[in-house]
Chain A
Amino acid sequence: MIRKLFRIVDHADRPRFIRWIVLLVAFSVLQGVCVLAVVPVLRPLLDGDRDAAVPWLVVLAAVTAATCVLFYAQALHGQQIADDLLLGMHRRIGDHLARLPLSWFGTDRRGRLTHSMSQGTANIIGVPAHLMQPVISASVTPAVVALGMFVFDWRLATALFVAGLVLLATHQWAQAAIARSFGTIDSAAVESASRVVEFAQRQPVLRAFGRTGENNRLLDDALVGQRRAYGEMSRNAVIALIAFSTAVQAAFVALIAVGVTLALGGSLDAAELIVLLVLVTRFIGPLIEVVDHAAALRMASEDIDRIDEVLAVRPLPEGSVDRLSEPGEVRFDNVSFGYDDRQVLRDVSFAARPGTLTAIVGPSGSGKTTVLRLAARFWEVDAGAVRVGGVDVRELTTAALADQLAMVFQDVYLFDGTIEANIRLGRPDATAEEIHEAARLARVDEIVNRLPDGWDTRVGEGGVSLSGGERQRVSIARALVKQAPIVLLDEATAALDPGGEAAVTAALRMLAERRTLVVVAHRLHTVAAADQILVLDGGRITQRGTHAELIDQPGRYQDFWRERERAKGWRLTV
């Protein structure tokens, strides 16, 4: 536990941390000495000699005073460490997350992270603030008492040591058993939590098809599964939970029996026995106390592990080049890429020059969106190189790469702020005029006019208070205001509503002149106007050229075009 905690403490704070641990150990040792000092006080008292006890009482008082000073010092240290830790953890994790590859931010990260960052960090700082002291005292103080016992009676001391070893073994076993049973329940809890999220997100369809309450078998099965896993865990954990405290009590009774046997046998005098039994209770005491903190400690330990896991993920290496040789150019050289074991792009090469429009077409799953994402270095290529502005994206600084690109992607995310603030994200120093102009081009002004609070309307977490098409328009405005030399655009969802579609058209017209456009294209209009069409199929570029060049060749492109022409004329009913 100390080692775990030490790892997450800031480097600068480590000397203080070490001082704290030293203070803690010193306190625990002195506490043991206090307990041992009881013997010379109590012995004369039991023999009825009050005066002989007084000098030792003074000694005890002096040691106690020293112990108190140490306690006070360690407590202040511990609390200071707790405060610094809270601040440091948030900063370190924040800095770290910002440098992680996007692929890491998968499905169930959010729930875990929020827990780790809020309640988790609160649990962790409880360790230096309060929990560590009883834990260290529980191991050091009894050891000191047991050692001191040898001065008085080696047989009882040996019995104490044996008891100590048995208790240690019990403790280890119980902790392992508890950790095991908590592992199984964790997976059941994750399954149940993800069903709950599904339940909330899919509520409309569940209702429309009558799968509510117990009729929602998926959720109910997961809940029952969790109950079952919890029941199993309980069976194992209950035994483990009480094993240690039971062992401690058993050891106590056994030590009494040993002492009584020795005393009745005449080899231990009565007063000695009693005094030593008192020592035994003080040997046992801290051990009982630590049981009270076991649950909190285990929780904190798991929380540290979670944070450790996050910090252990390797961030994307940061490049150092910020001078571009070919500003505004996007070039793929023999790029191959796959997610996990699924190969997505194979040996893709192309170049998009400034002032041109490159349209990527192809069936779903052919890797079109992936091309855009690799250009923005959301992921690292497996082979080949992606160059932006003439430089391999891995060598560019994050800022230099970001300056080159503006993106409109499928998964539009808006921050909980005003519409204006969300557009401004594209370029924080844009003037109000520039923002309104971008908003006008992307038809955001129509949305703003409709909303009760206009520009100051808050969009809610993720932009929930706007429709999908509206969010898309805001994201287009955001990209427009950025005025980056390269624009990456995914038309897929942009085609959702006519307003969004018109906005895309406007954006394209505005952008196409001086910039480099790479578009995952669905609209025939865009495709036909492209300077270069790349036809992706199964992760490879199977055809390339202009519309005029490709339309007469038999192949994917011709099929695509015909299919789309047919779809255009479709009506729901005849």
Chain B
Amino acid sequence: MATRQAPPEQAEKSGGLGVVLTPVRGQLVVAAVLQLIGAVAGLAPYIAVVEIARDFLGAAVVDRDAVWLCVVVAAVGFVVRTICATTAYTISHVADADVGLKIRRDTARRLSRVPLGWFTERSSGQVKRVLADDVAAVHHAVAHVVNDLVAAVVTPLIALGYLFWLDWRLALLCLGPLVVWFGLVAYMMRDEGERTARWSAELDKVNAAVVEFVDGIAVVKAFGQAGRAQDRYRRAGDDLARFLSEWAGGMRHLDSLASMIISPPVMLLVALAGGVWLDADPAELVAFVMLAVGLGAPVLALGFGAQAMQVATDAASRVAKLLAAPELPGAAEPRRPAGARVELDGVRFSYDGRTFVLDGIDLVLEPGTVTALVGSSGSGKSTLARLLPRFWDVDEGAIRIGGVDVRDVSEQDLYRQIGFVFQETSMLRTSIGDNIALGRPDATRAEIEAAARAAQIHDRIMSLPRGYDSVVGEDAQLSGGEAQRVTIARAILADTPVLVLDEATAFADPESEAAVQDALSSLVSGRTLLVIAHRLHTIRSADRIVVLAGGRVVESGSHDDLIASGGEYARMWATQTAASEEPA
């Protein structure tokens, strides 16, 4: 639809746009009014020519002053128009920049409060599309479309009004081609909504195919299947093209005909022939020849403007939808946790509302103890760990820290209580120092260095070109194990009484395993610890080992107890020791 004209009515449907534009509505109205005044003033030179014609043709003796007055009016009209347009553009561009920042900030704030699952259900590309591309499309609407649409609607309307005032019969005649054009376009657009939706769906398919093609290029190349992924992409491209030609193919002749009917030569002929036929006043005929001929162009521009508006409206509705994403409810009366005791009380949780990933978990983490969660993948252990920092809310039951439900703890207090070391790299593209100080931005350099030393990463950081000021991904290229030690330093500095280690003992970078292990040992001492572990030998001495299966606790106890009871844990232990038995 980006290439076909939409009828101006489309511009009216701006549901999402309304929401998004509310903060700058005042500025936009002022800009639109200025554009309107400018459009009226822009007509002055034409009227001046008509009046000059009258002066020259009407009287035997030309009134020089009257003629020059006309020129002055034309000049004044021009100046007014220029001032109005400049001001309107400036106002709308400022409004535009403001609204862009505001929408992006609002969206970011909103997204920081939605359940984390919102992010796992979407690719980062989708988030980027809304926050970057869609907001930019809305930008365009604010800066240009409002201005341009006003000009495109108002300019021909004022011109037509003037022509009707001069000679309504001839004006009606000149309106003829425009009416035919509207009729044809309306006929072509009769099921535009459906086609627009399909076009958008085809575009999404192309988008998805490109993302897949680019992300999966290594795989398809490796398997000599480049042709296949390419096929998918090619199919999406072909579908898009086929859809366009089906859609447009039937319309092509009508479309060309419609544009032809309002082209300047036709309008010129209609005005002149009509003038001769109706025996119009010559001076007034001049007005028709000048103005009626130009009526077609803004109308065409209107089509394009309406289209840009449609794009902006779609974009705005996505932004609005995002801004309305359901948040985790904030604490009405925040309470402060007393102590670091963590209780899970009858916790049930489901991602999709159908199957419960956690199905009745009762668990207490006593302050200063180590609790290890083990279980096969899909047993719910990662989910359980992620409920503690409230990435999601439980469906049933409660999680309490220091006696307070996590839903009643303020965000600030919660992250002061609970620290998290992730399995996947979690570095931000900023200086190493800032990465370590993530949880405590006000930490001094000395504190940061102390944390880095404890995490066994200080020396490595000092060997970087700019030390702690080296930027991750730019002049700090860290290996997996090194990055892991930075995140451990981060947790050490945050110094939270409760700490969750999510598979942090499975190493992305086995060479630095020993160093990571030392770093972890210095992190965990004296805290309430919840560890998710794959390698059972690393948590053998935990105070309590909890075995999860199918979302329930099936066993719990010390290593020796569980081995002795000969249950699930004993079976896992046996498998792992057999699998990792190294020949000496």
Contacts and interface: CB of A to CB of B under 8 A. Distances in A.
Is the A/B pair a real complex?
Answer: yes
Nearest to A73: B256
A358 interface: no
A497 B78 contact: no
B223 A425 contact: yes
A46 B282 CA distance: 5
Contacts of A214: 105, 109
Contact of A242 (B89, B105, B206, B257): B89
B230 A98 contact: yes
Interface stretch (B7-15, B123-131, B183-191, B399-407): B123-131
A515 interface: no
A274 B245 CA distance: 47
A497 B52 contact: no
Dominant secondary structure at the B interface: helix
Count chain B CB atoms within 10 A of each CB in A54, A79, A501 and give the residue with the most: A79
A98 B226 contact: yes
Contact of A245 (B85, B94, B252): B85
B424 interface: yes
Contacts of A129: 3-4
A375 to B, nearest CB: 11
B152 to A, nearest CB: 7
Interface string B1-41: 01111000000000000000000000000000000000000
Contacts of B503: 496-497
A492 B508 contact: yes
A94 B514 contact: no
Interface stretch (B210-218, B337-345, B444-452): B210-218
B219 A209 contact: no
Nearest to B576: A498
Contacts of A113: 210, 214
Interface string B459-499: 00000000000000000010111100001001000100000
Contacts of B564: none
A355 B512 CA distance: 31
Interface in A389-432: 398-399, 401-403, 405-407, 409, 411, 413, 415-416, 425-426, 428
Contacts of A115: 133
A289 B542 contact: no
A307 interface: no
Contact of B286 (A42, A71, A469): A42
A2 interface: no
Nearest to A478: B223
A318 to B, nearest CB: 12
B66 to A, nearest CB: 11
Interface residues of B, number: 196
Contact of A567 (B234, B419, B517): B517
B517 A45 contact: no
A563 B389 contact: no
B82 A264 contact: no
A90 B220 CA distance: 18
A459 to B, nearest CB: 12
A172 interface: no
B260 A72 contact: yes
Contacts of B122: 200
A226 B105 CA distance: 12
A75 B262 CA distance: 14
A407 B216 CA distance: 14
Interface string B253-296: 10111011001111011001101100100110110011001100
A513 to B, nearest CB: 19
B57 interface: yes
B391 interface: yes
Contact of A238 (B90, B133, B213, B430): B90
Interface in B498-519: 503, 505-514, 517
Contact of A198 (B82, B429, B540): B429
Nearest to A78: B256
B265 A64 contact: yes
7 contacts: A34-B269, A79-B252, A130-B3, A207-B415, A218-B429, A295-B144, A492-B508
Given A60-B268, A63-B265, A110-B215, 4 more contacts: A118-B210, A195-B429, A286-B264, A468-B423
